[in-house]
């Protein structure tokens, strides 16, 4: 994959104490990079855009992403997190939200890297249920992907470039990209 911007470089991703959980760290950094790349495509004037009266605005989705990540990691996983009042950026611009996303994600990586299997498999409170921490983590990743997808749709509706996240888009491609767009390509 070729990304024009990387918020968390591969060199900043620590090695997991238990190699079986390295994919957790790599995936979290990769998903954070994807979110940051999408957010950077918006302009300050876009923060109030919402495609429907019942839809959240761009700015509200960014705020929700930062606050809900803090809650998932802090309340449900037990990761040290800043107080909720310190999560949102002071300046409300897409660039500030993107920078804050990366700044909050970076210190989570070494904490998660130091955890062992017992920690990941321990059941913890999750809203009105109990779930293993690894389940909560993957639920967080899916939640993040959901909101990132919302905002990629908003980019398209605003006539803006949709950046590559899992592969090329109609706006971004590269030599060697091989998207699966046909029955033939699915058979490779």
pLDDT per position as a tens digit, 67-119: 999 999 999 999 999 999 999 999 999 999 999 999 999 999 999 999 999 99
Q: Is the pLDDT of residue 2 over 80?
A: no
Contacts 24+ apart (CB under 8 A), 88-95: 88/63, 92/44, 92/47, 92/59, 93/44, 93/47, 94/39, 94/40, 94/41, 94/42, 94/43, 94/44, 94/46, 94/47, 94/58, 94/62, 95/40
DSSP category for residue 161 = P
**What pLDDT sits at residue 147?**
95
Q: Is the pLDDT at 1 greater than 70, yes or no? A: no
pLDDT score at 86: 98
Instruction: Name the percent of the chain lying above pLDDT 70.
Output: 98
Tell me the pTM. Answer: 0.93
Give the residue-averaged pLDDT of 161-174.
82
What is the phi-psi region of residue 182: left when phi exceeds 0, alpha when psi lies from -120 to 50, beta otherwise? beta
Instruction: Give the chain's domains with CATH numbers.
Output: 18-186 (1.20.120.450)
Angle formed by the axes of helices 58-71 and 94-105, nearest 10°: 10
Q: What is the per-residue pLDDT across 109-125, written as a single tens digit (0 to 9) for each?
A: 999 999 999 999 999 99
Q: What is the mean pLDDT of residues 116-136?
A: 97
Mean of all residue pLDDT scores within the chain: 94
| pLDDT the model gives residue 153 | 96
With a pLDDT cut of 90, the percent of the chain lying above it is 84
């Amino acid at each position: 994959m070729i990304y024009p911007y990387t918020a968390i470089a591969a060199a900043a991703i620590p090695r997991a104490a238990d190699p079986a959980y390295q994919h957790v760290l790599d995936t979290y950094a990769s998903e954070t990079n994807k979110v940051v790349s999408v957010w950077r495509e918006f302009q300050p004037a876009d923060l109030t855009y919402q495609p429907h009266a019942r839809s959240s605005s761009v700015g509200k989705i960014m705020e929700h992403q930062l606050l809900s990540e803090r809650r998932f990691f802090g309340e449900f996983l037990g990761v040290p997190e800043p107080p909720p009042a310190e999560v949102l950026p002071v300046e409300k611009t897409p660039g500030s939200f993107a920078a804050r996303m990366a700044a909050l994600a970076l210190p989570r990586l070494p904490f998660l890297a130091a955890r062992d299997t017992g920690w990941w498999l321990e059941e913890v409170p999750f809203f009105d249920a109990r779930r293993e921490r690894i389940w909560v983590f993957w639920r967080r990743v899916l939640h993040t992907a959901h909101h990132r997808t919302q905002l990629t749709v908003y980019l398209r509706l605003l006539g803006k470039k949709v950046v590559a996240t899992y592969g090329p888009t109609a706006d971004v491609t590269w030599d060697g990209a091989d998207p699966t767009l046909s029955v033939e390509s699915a058979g490779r």
